[in-house]
Structure 1
Amino acid sequence: MGSKSPETEHPVKALGYAARDTSGVLSPINFSRRKTGDEDVRFKVLYCGVCHTDLHFVKNEWNNTKYPVIPGHEIVGVVTEVGSKVKKVKVGDHVGVGCIVGCCHSCNQCGANQEQYCSKMVHTYNDSSVVTYGGYSNHMVANEHFIVIWPKDYPLDGGAPLLCAGITVYSPIRYYGLDKPGMHVGVVGLGGLGHVAVKFLKALGVKVTVISTSPKKKEEAINTFGADSFLVSRDQAQMQSGVGSMDGIIDTVSADHPLVPLISLLKPNGKLVLVGAPTKPYELPAFPLLFGRKMVGGSFIGGIKETQEMIEFAAKHNITAAIERIPIEYINTAMERLQKSDVRYRFVIDIGNTLKAA
């Protein structure tokens, strides 16, 4: 038998925005998605957050983009069709899809609800093993396992970014035990991830210090997001005042920056957790770790069960991302602004109202 044509294999017409080359310019594209399988959920996309990862992929900055690429892994919408075996949701329900749409379901990681570490994990878009297209599109289909049930009355637009930015900080806060009331935790960078980390930590009863290169973010960190204190990382006197005071630090910054000044802020047995991904390797001398039994760790998003838990926690504590809602036709300007960190703090595309067939 010959291989099926894409139109036969993926018969459901779809409309999206794609980048076609390293210019990163996004423009309308007609493509197709698979039909709804027995365990699949199809939903109309209403909102999709714009993640910094999207910018890396449209410009091929990580040298693994497969064009045309349709980004988007902070996707929320309303269910339009469910397969015959679907039990999780029904037509009309609000749902979300984050960074993962596939895994092997049989390895140790999958068994521990840590699909993000499965060697056969399938990314929501630009996957290396199969062709996947993301949420800058009018509808989405995914196996019900990877569908997040949206809490009643929880905002779709402000909640969408938590499907990546939220779980990226929530998972390490829980895993590394930085969630105990009375602890003191630093958050490096007050961007899309950092401002959500502050909100989660405060909801958990943790004392929070924001560490930033930008003094002008102090007022917002404390008065808007509830941080207890603020350190300007370029001010040596301020950094010196915080030495040995923190149980842990969540480092959300993806720009190149030194780790040693951060390690010095930790108490003995303190943990510095990296969730940002700078392109250059870090310099990490041994002595600052040895003297104080300190640890540098990392974390990558979270599994589906934990993502569901995170969204429910956010809904309970009224935690949403600070967003700027944009029409799809603004996306290229938004990407230029994102490159310059000119967003407070997450763009969310109003797909439902603005992505229309020409």
Structure 2
Amino acid sequence: MQIVHAPHVTVRPDWLAQRVEPVLAPELAIVDAHHHLWDRQTGRYLAEEFGADVGCGHRVVSTVYVQARSMMRAHGPDAMKPVGEVEFANGIAAMFASGAYGPARCCSAIVGGADLTLGAELDAVLESMSQVSGGRLRGIRNPLAWHENPEVTSSPVTPPRDRMRNPAFRQGVRALARFGLSLDAWVYHTQLDELYELAKASPDVTVVIDHFGGPLGAGPYVGRRDEVIAQWRQSLARLASLPNTRMKLGGAGLTVFGFDFATRDLPPSSEELAAAWRPYFDICIELFGVNRCMFESNFPVDKGMFSYGVLWNAFKRLASAMSADEKSALFSGTAASTYRLEISGDNA
């Protein structure tokens, strides 16, 4: 794999502090279906930092930790190094389960990063991940987002161009079914047809599409949003026809979406965010329905664009016309069913 500089917007706490909003619908239970944690040269975002965001006033009851190459093992076989990330996420989950960081049960589900091209070695890796996960391992994600234009970059890792067509990778995806694991997939709209073929060939595996399915607005797609949305919708409709697919609504703070909120004097309001994301939200709901869609923060990646509190206010504005049952599905139910989370009692 080629390692490049992470194309994430720098988090500026003083800038974010200029936009504080009252929490909308504070009683609504939330499962944050996608976030990361790390300690890197670009900054630290661990239990204390995430706990502060989660504790901003929205009723976050549980979260899903997703692969980010954090705390990989420094020693041992390369295939086993990602086991360290699952072990790390489980440790963070235990910290939150203690109640010391508030009532939220963060990292209740873990999406790890086992290399799905390993072939015969994969079972041993998945078994090790399961053993160190405290029963929290729910899925696997491998880097998939690829584009020929260097201006379209959203990760420090660039995968091989044809990974989704790789027979070994496809075999690895199908193997997830034996372990009861889902596949998280972050791809651009230009790759959705490849993802369709992969999901179709793996009917026993739930394929979770990250970040609205990646409608691009950077590089060669600047100023072509209507054209992109038309192409994205057509490809997304094919994916939605497969019953084993799910959609995560969020991630639009990534620079590849092409929004310029981080360049403004003031952070965006929840009204501005909701207006910008409305086309994506409406189309995803139309194609997948609320029972196959879930909201995600994608923090801390998206934190360079907006705060956690404003983000969830924006999601609540997007869903304001929904019924109580529909809101429950979008904010907690779909994520809970997809990642097999218990949302009951004092965290319901």
TM-score, structure 2 normalization: 0.28
- Point out the structure with the larger helix share: 2
Task: Give 1 or 2 for the bigger CA radius of gyration.
Answer: 1
Structure with more contact order per residue of length (Cα contacts < 8 Å, sep ≥ 6): 2
Higher strand share: 1
